[in-house]
């Protein structure tokens, strides 16, 4: 090996930064094995060369977000799902704001009839974004609200309906069945809908995100991911395994509590940010 900058400490440091960015053991080991192999094969001796190989190997693990499947028909429907407090309602406000600015005729459905003041929360956001919100009473059947909202969206010629749902833990059988029912209501009203099912993951979450991905995908056929709260110091490295497992691309990143704090996912930016401590 002789004149190499790369030693045991290099690998230990890399492993530590992977783990601390929440990549998880499996992804960490896969990437480290690949790096060690490549380093040996290509005779890499400098840490800055290694850095380049590392980043490129991580870029390759994620896909850039494809365009959302929300055009080319009268009414497109996005269903938003996720565990409690992950940032669903706030992300809906941000999406509504974004699509309205792009000239879309957006409407929101207050499908969380369970959590205290969830309806008022969405209504407040609706006012701020300047988009109508279809809601019913607290405690009412979410499927019925969703049905009403679809009718209203069609009647008022909205071309994009975004549906909020109550937070639920993926291991709660009954609540996951309820979500399936909501999905079925949508598909019955508009045959190829929902056109996007976006799973909202809290960027501070660790390895449990993988199970969230699996269970929500099973129940609702998730088509994309939103990772929130990456304006803090959390890295969100768990998305590598979620993406691998669920196969749904990260579409957006939440970077704050304001209505404009949502950006499209950028693989390079994300990966580079993982190691800026």
Ligand X SMILES: Nc1nc2c(ncn2[C@@H]2O[C@H](COP(=O)(O)OP(=O)(O)OP(=O)(O)O)[C@@H](O)[C@H]2O)c(=O)[nH]1
Q: Quick check: 22 binds K ion (CB under 5 A)?
A: no
Cis? peptide before 194, omega within 30° of 0: yes
Are 242 and 201 in contact by the 8 Å Cβ rule? The answer is yes
Span interacting with ligand X, options 50-58, 138-146, 176-184, 256-264, rule CB under 6 A = 256-264
CA angle 126, 98, 264 (to 5 degrees): 130
Distance CA 239, CA 71 (A): 27
247 touches which of Mg ion, other proteins, K ion, none (CB within 5 to 8 A by kind)? none
Out of 65, 138, 249, 256, name the contact with ligand X by CB under 6 A. Answer: 256
E-assigned strand segments in 10-155: 76-81, 106-111, 133-134
Site residues for other proteins, 137-166, by CB under 8 A, read none
Q: Which stretch in 20-28, 58-66, 197-205, 210-218 sits in contact with K ion by CB under 5 A?
A: 197-205
- Which residue's CB is nearer to other proteins, number 70 or number 129? 129
Among 89, 91, 113, 220, binds Mg ion (CB under 5 A): 89
Q: Applying CB under 8 A, does 32 fall inside the site for other proteins?
A: no
Q: Which residues pair with 160 in a beta bridge?
A: 76, 106
**Residue from 198, 202, 235, 254 that binds K ion (CB under 5 A)?**
202
Of 252, 266, 259, 256, the closest CA to residue 78 belongs to 252
**Residues 153-182 within binding reach of ligand X (CB under 6 A):** 167, 169
Which of 110, 131, 238, 255 touches other proteins (CB under 8 A)?
238
Strands 76-81, 196-202: parallel, antiparallel or unpaired by DSSP? parallel
Four-residue CA torsion sign, 85, 89, 95, 101: negative
**Interface residue list for other proteins (CB under 8 A):** 16, 19-22, 24-25, 83-87, 114-118, 120-121, 123-125, 128, 167, 169-172, 202, 204-209, 211, 229, 231-235, 238, 257
């Amino acid at each position: 090996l002789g004149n190499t900058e790369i030693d045991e400490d290099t690998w230990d440091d890399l492993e530590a930064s992977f783990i601390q960015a929440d990549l998880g053991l499996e992804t960490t080991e896969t990437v480290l094995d690949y790096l060690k192999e490549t380093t040996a094969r290509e005779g890499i001796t400098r840490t800055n060369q290694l850095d380049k190989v590392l980043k490129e190997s991580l870029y390759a693990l994620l896909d850039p977000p494809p365009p959302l499947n929300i055009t080319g028909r009268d009414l497109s429907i996005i269903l938003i799902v996720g565990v409690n407090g992950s940032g669903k309602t706030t992300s809906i406000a941000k999406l509504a704001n974004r699509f309205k600015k792009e000239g879309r005729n957006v409407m929101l459905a207050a499908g969380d009839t369970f959590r205290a003041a969830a309806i008022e929360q969405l209504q407040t956001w609706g006012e701020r974004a300047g988009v109508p919100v279809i809601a019913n009473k607290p405690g009412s059947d979410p499927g019925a609200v969703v049905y009403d909202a679809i009718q209203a969206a069609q009647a008022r010629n909205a071309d994009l309906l975004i549906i909020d749902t109550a937070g639920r833990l993926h291991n709660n059988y009954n609540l996951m069945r309820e979500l399936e029912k909501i999905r079925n209501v949508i598909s019955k009203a508009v045959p190829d809908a929902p056109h996007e099912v976006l799973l909202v993951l809290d960027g501070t979450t660790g390895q449990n995100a993988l199970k969230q991905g699996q269970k929500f995908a099973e129940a609702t056929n998730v088509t994309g991911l939103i990772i929130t709260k990456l304006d803090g110091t959390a890295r969100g490295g768990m998305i590598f395994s979620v993406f691998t497992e669920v196969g749904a691309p990260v579409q957006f990143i939440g970077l704050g509590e304001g209505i404009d704090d949502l950006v499209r996912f950028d693989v390079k930016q994300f990966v580079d940010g993982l190691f800026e401590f």
